[in-house]
Chains A and B, each alone.
Chain A
Amino acid sequence: MENEDQTERIDRYLDDALTTEEKLAFDNEMATNPEFRLEVEAQEAVRELISSQAEKEGLRTLFATFHAELETAAAMDDQQHGNADLLEKKKGIQRKLQWGNWSYTAIAASVAILIIGVWTVWNNQKTTGTGEPNGQEIRVDERNEVFRIPLLSWKTVDFKPVVQEKRMIDATIIRSKTYHSHYRFTDILEIYSDTLTEKQQKISIAYDVETKQYRIHIGDSSYPIRKTDEITPLTQP
């Protein structure tokens, strides 16, 4: 190519490195020669594109590292809390549901109906209102009666809530003729509701380390709860 000097001259202009005289001549040439002006614009655009591509490449590498760390942490978390422990817990819940008194048999039947209901709704790809405040879906594992929700322990640091620990706990939604908007909270969380069936609802539990209080978040609503073996109403204070 013929214009080695031209490339460097344009670079010096774009880097603001020309002398006053050189810059004056350069500006004059740009004003009178549209072809030259286009050359300058093109070089500027190429420089910007190359820098932008390189920046994106750097970020992509960084994100890949973060993601790998995230996956490693999740795998370690699983290991720490123990898959065996989780399986044991699930088995325990299933045992309770299978071999307990009549009410547990009824609960299991209700959950099965619930799963079939949700499956049918998903299969038909319909979205039906639930009557809940924000009308979202409840999450149910199709394979068994148990699904998992996050339990976030937090405390206030510098007037800002800071998460101390995040772990997942087992939860189940139970349809009951007797109880509506109730819960029982031991190692697992049972939610008694006959309306949360068709749309997904984000459910989580927050635990304030300082006040030692639990709060369940269901969509946009939240209720204080406590560890209890009794079926207790979900109520706002």
Chain B
Amino acid sequence: MITEIGSPDFPLIQAIKNGNEKALGLFYKDNFGKILHLVLKNSGSDDDARDVYQDCMMEIVLQIRGGRLDQLSSRLSTYLYSVCYYKWIDRLRQKGKQMQTGFDDDLDTAVIEEDDSPPYLPALEKVLAQIGEKCMMLLKAFYYEKLTMTEIASKLGFADDNSAKSQKNKCMDKARFLGKNVLKQHYS
């Protein structure tokens, strides 16, 4: 495509890596049409296209943030198309259908990064649901949002920061216990 001639995508990758939402938004909007076209041509609907596109976009953004695409040799849009293409093939296979049309030659150059997430992750994800929604919110506020105990107490309605802290530790104890069992099973 004419929009893909020119310099490599290093600045774009760095912008996305640094949390530049404008760059990510432009990248998202620029490339959806191609995936929509691909999915519609191959037994899919608008909703299928959106779902598969957001899944592969998620994968790519996480790879960028993890520094795994710093040395990407192909265009980022080409890479995105490849990831979406294979994801859509997988979904068609699950539905017992086949891909009817191929994709551009330049996609041959896009080497897809392998998923290096730990194999026990799905099991851990499943058991972690047992700690309950409030515990998950609490742990998320503390470990991801990095809120202080005072902020957490105010946000989640605890009497004071000590109560919040005590509840956070209980939640983590429970989660760690469940996680330990998953790991034990994985190692055995």
Contacts and interface: CB of A to CB of B under 8 A. Distances in A.
B90 interface: no
Interface stretch (A19-27, A86-94, A102-110, A153-161): A153-161
Given A38-B180, A67-B50, A200-B101, A54 B144 contact: yes
Contact of A206 (B2, B37, B124, B174): B2
A163 B24 CA distance: 17
Chain A, interface residues (CB within 8 Å), range: 35 or more
A132 to B, nearest CB: 13
Contacts of A2: 173
Interface string A194-215: 0000011010101000000000
Contacts of A46: 124, 128, 139, 172, 175-176, 179
Nearest to B131: A46
A49 B123 CA distance: 11
Contacts of B102: 134, 136
Given A51-B143, A136-B101, A200-B101, A45 B179 contact: yes
Interface string B122-163: 001100100000001001100111000000000000000000
Given A50-B139, A159-B7, A161-B5, A4 B173 contact: yes
Contact of B61 (A4, A47, A59): A59
A145 interface: no
A33 interface: no
Contact of A220 (B21, B100, B105, B184): B105
A83 interface: no
A227 interface: no
B170 interface: yes
Interface of B: 1-3, 5-7, 21, 24-25, 28-29, 32, 37, 41, 50, 54, 57-58, 61-62, 65, 100-102, 104-105, 118, 120-121, 124-125, 128, 136, 139-140, 143-145, 166, 169-170, 172-177, 179-180, 182-184
The 6 closest A-B pairs by CB, nearest first: A42-B179, A1-B173, A160-B6, A54-B144, A4-B169, A42-B180
Interface of A: 1-4, 6-8, 10-11, 38-39, 41-43, 45-47, 49-51, 53-56, 59-60, 62-63, 65-67, 69-70, 73, 125, 127, 134, 136-137, 152, 154, 159-163, 199-200, 202, 204, 206, 217, 220
